[in-house]
Amino acid sequence: MIFHLDTSTGQSVGIVTLKNRIDASNSSELQKVFTQWLQQASVFIFDCKELDFIDSSGLGAIVSCLRKALEQHGDLKLAALGPKVSMIFELTKAKQLFSIFSDATEALQSFSTVGTK
């Protein structure tokens, strides 16, 4: 996972690049570091272009991150879901919980009307 803040829209947007796998072996780490990232931003993009696999633990971790962001009056958007990852979101109906964009740039532009933390 790689985290950086983007302020090009006039606000702090946390962009997280998820890589390889989010599964039972690392999903708790994602939840833990997300809590730390919430101290820097309240709106996030999870860029999934390098994410190859997600299991139920990983899906639960991402949903938990969304819940935490919403509790801080923020949001979490997903970008660049590959076919395998997208299928998991569709089969579990989790796709209905998120705003999903074709790439991180499009997701970032969608935050242009959201207030800063």
The pLDDT of residue 79: 97
CB neighbourhood size of 88 (10 A): 17
Q: Count how many domains the chain has.
A: 1
pLDDT over 70, % of the chain: 96
Per-residue model confidence as pLDDT tens digits over 6-60: 888 888 999 999 999 999 999 999 999 999 999 999 999 999 999 999 999 999 9
pLDDT at residue 117 in the model: 41
pLDDT at 43: 95
Taking residues 72-84, report their average pLDDT: 95
Tell which residue, 42, 39, 44, 48, has the closest CA to residue 18: 48
Whichever domain contains 67, its CATH number is 3.30.750.24
CA–CA distance, 72 with 103 (Å, rounded to integer): 24
Question: 47: domain range?
Answer: 2-113
CB of 18 closer than 8 Å to CB of 47: yes
The SS3 call for residue 103 is coil
Q: If pLDDT is split at 50, 70 and 90, which confidence band does 113 have?
A: low
